[in-house]
């Protein structure tokens, strides 16, 4: 597959090799037809965000996927793969997630009549829990101190104990995870920047976004720099991100692919979220705040180089979800903000 044409649409671009068809045979030999809802995943917009008087980046608005996050993409490709291989029909999909992939599975599964069981850390926000209930997913909440790793271990144990009941999707190791971004996210970013992207900034959790989109963008232009964003330590409040040095490293992760890694504190990310909401009218999630902190450092460093012109730099930041998933954590968003008592 060559570079996508500038300013053209994506019609006709291929999906996973194993799932080129939009239908897959079910165990009862009926044909599965994808719900129309599934076709709404992807093709999210991009907009310019000013970080300071001299700093502007492009924000890939992944919260505008139908399930509200970037995780709709890998969840869709993983579901397609399980159906095409004949491994999912007749079973419940089982996986571990910090929250967003779980919601994506639940939404897509509900539309297709596929049962979903997810293992999620118990400190997931109330909004995430409510969404899982609304979509009818079975949620198993795990030790919050163990984070996503504890959820992964619980899912593995369940899959091993009940192989006839569950199809273990294993998003942290499933090749369809980065493939979703390789085939869709990268294509969209390339077109939306007219092929001028110079830097891609993305947080790492499953690492699928950076591994998939980053690899494809580097194939089109090896000079595109990939910046991985991680929390600064194992205990943090950046839901969805992993401190890889102290966590189970996803099997899909290639440490040689990122050009650099930026470590961000929870407090830095929270402050960036608050500022963006009040100055730009964009309420993003904590992982987006972390990515924007990393992007600000990057752009600041580039602006200090006399040989680098701002017009030659196009920094794209992936925004996985919106801050509306964390409204119950009001104190992190600035408490009551500008509220005043009405006499």
C-beta of residue 112 within 8 angstroms of C-beta of residue 34: yes
Residues 75 and 144 placed together within one structural domain of the fold: yes
Residues 164 and 299 placed together within one structural domain of the fold: no
Q: Is residue 201 part of a domain?
A: yes
Residues 249 and 292 placed together within one structural domain of the fold: yes
Q: Is residue 341 part of a domain?
A: no
Q: Point out the domain boundary residue: 143, 168, 193.
A: 168
User: For residue 308, what pLDDT is reported?
Assistant: 66
Q: For residues 319 and 194, give the distance between their C-alpha atoms in angstroms, rounded to a whole number.
A: 20
Residues 189 and 267 placed together within one structural domain of the fold: yes
Q: Is residue 126 part of a domain?
A: yes
Q: Is residue 79 part of a domain?
A: yes
C-beta of residue 198 within 8 angstroms of C-beta of residue 315: yes
The DSSP result for 52-86, as a single string, is SSS-EEEEEEGGGSTTSBTTHHHHHHHHHHHHHTT
Q: Is residue 21 part of a domain?
A: no
Q: Is residue 339 part of a domain?
A: no
Residues 154 and 213 placed together within one structural domain of the fold: no
Per the DSSP assignment, residues forming a β-bridge with 58 are: 48, 316
Q: Point out the domain boundary residue: 168, 201, 223.
A: 168
Residues 95 and 235 placed together within one structural domain of the fold: no
Residues 87 and 186 placed together within one structural domain of the fold: no
The DSSP result for 324-341, as a single string, is GGGTT-GGGGTTTTT---
- Per-residue pLDDT tens digits for 32-91: 899 999 999 999 999 999 988 778 999 999 999 999 999 999 999 999 999 999 999 999
C-beta of residue 184 within 8 angstroms of C-beta of residue 148: no
Token pair in block for residue 283: 């309420």
114-118 contacts: CB < 8 A, separation 24 or more? Answer: 114/79, 114/88, 115/91, 116/92, 117/92, 117/93, 117/158, 117/166, 118/94
User: For residue 55, what pLDDT is reported?
Assistant: 82
Residues 196 and 274 placed together within one structural domain of the fold: yes
The CA-CA-CA angle for residues 75, 78, 82, to 5°, reads: 140
Residues 212 and 292 placed together within one structural domain of the fold: yes
Residues with Cβ < 8 Å from 84, sequence gap 6 or more?
A: 16, 18, 19, 21, 24
Phi, psi torsion values for 299, nearest 5 degrees: -65, -35
Mean pLDDT, the chain, as a whole number? Answer: 89
What residues make up the domain containing 97?
A: 71-168
pLDDT tens-digit profile, the chain (343 residues): 567 754 333 333 333 333 333 333 333 335 789 999 999 999 999 999 998 877 899 999 999 999 999 999 999 999 999 999 999 999 999 999 989 999 999 999 999 999 999 999 999 889 999 999 999 999 999 999 998 899 999 999 999 999 999 999 999 999 999 999 999 999 999 999 999 999 999 999 999 999 999 999 999 999 999 999 999 999 898 988 999 999 999 999 999 999 999 999 999 999 999 999 999 999 999 999 999 999 999 999 887 776 666 678 999 999 999 999 999 886 777 754 444 444 4
Q: Is residue 4 part of a domain?
A: no
User: For residue 8, what pLDDT is reported?
Assistant: 34
Residues 243 and 156 placed together within one structural domain of the fold: no
Q: Point out the domain boundary residue: 168, 197, 218.
A: 168
C-beta of residue 226 within 8 angstroms of C-beta of residue 255: no
C-beta of residue 38 within 8 angstroms of C-beta of residue 184: no
Residues 212 and 321 placed together within one structural domain of the fold: yes
Residues 58 and 75 placed together within one structural domain of the fold: no
CATH of the domain at 209: 3.40.50.1100
Chain centroid offset of residue 90 CA: 28
User: For residue 11, what pLDDT is reported?
Assistant: 32
* Site of tokens 């400190």: 123
Q: Is residue 20 part of a domain?
A: no
User: For residue 18, what pLDDT is reported?
Assistant: 32
The total number of structural domains in the chain stands at 2
């Amino acid at each position: 597959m060559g570079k996508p044409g500038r300013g053209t649409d994506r019609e006709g671009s291929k999906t996973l090799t194993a799932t080129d068809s939009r239908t897959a045979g079910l165990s009862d030999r009926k044909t599965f037809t994808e719900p129309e809802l599934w076709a709404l995943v992807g093709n999210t917009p991009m907009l310019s965000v000013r970080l300071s008087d001299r700093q502007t980046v492009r924000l890939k608005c992944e919260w505008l996927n139908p399930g509200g996050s970037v995780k709709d993409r890998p969840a869709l490709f993983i579901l397609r793969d399980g159906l095409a291989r004949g491994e999912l029909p007749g079973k419940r999909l089982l996986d571990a997630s910090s929250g967003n992939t779980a919601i994506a599975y639940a939404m897509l599964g509900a539309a297709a009549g596929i049962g979903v069981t997810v293992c999620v850390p118990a400190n997931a926000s109330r909004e995430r829990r409510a969404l899982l209930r609304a979509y009818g997913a079975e949620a198993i909440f795990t030790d919050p101190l163990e984070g996503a790793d504890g959820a992964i271990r619980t899912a593995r144990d369940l899959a091993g104990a009940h192989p006839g009941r569950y199809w273990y999707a294993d998003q942290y190791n499933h090749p369809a995870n980065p493939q979703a971004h390789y085939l869709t996210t990268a294509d969209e970013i390339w077109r939306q920047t007219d092929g001028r992207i110079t830097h891609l900034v993305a947080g790492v959790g499953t690492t699928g976004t950076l591994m998939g989109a980053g690899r494809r963008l580097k194939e089109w232009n090896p000079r595109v720099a990939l910046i991985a964003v991680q929390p600064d330590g194992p205990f943090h409040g950046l839901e969805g991100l992993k401190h890889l040095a102290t966590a189970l490293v996803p099997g899909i992760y290639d440490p040689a692919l990122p050009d650099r890694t930026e470590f961000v504190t929870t407090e830095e990310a929270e402050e960036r979220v608050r500022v963006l909401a009040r100055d730009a009218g964009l309420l993003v999630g904590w992982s987006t705040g972390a990515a924007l902190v990393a992007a600000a450092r990057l752009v600041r460093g580039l602006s200090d180089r006399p040989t680098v012109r701002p017009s030659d730099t196009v920094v794209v930041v992936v925004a996985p979800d919106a801050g509306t998933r964390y409204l119950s954590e009001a104190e992190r968003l600035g408490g009551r903000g500008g509220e005043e008592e009405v006499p």
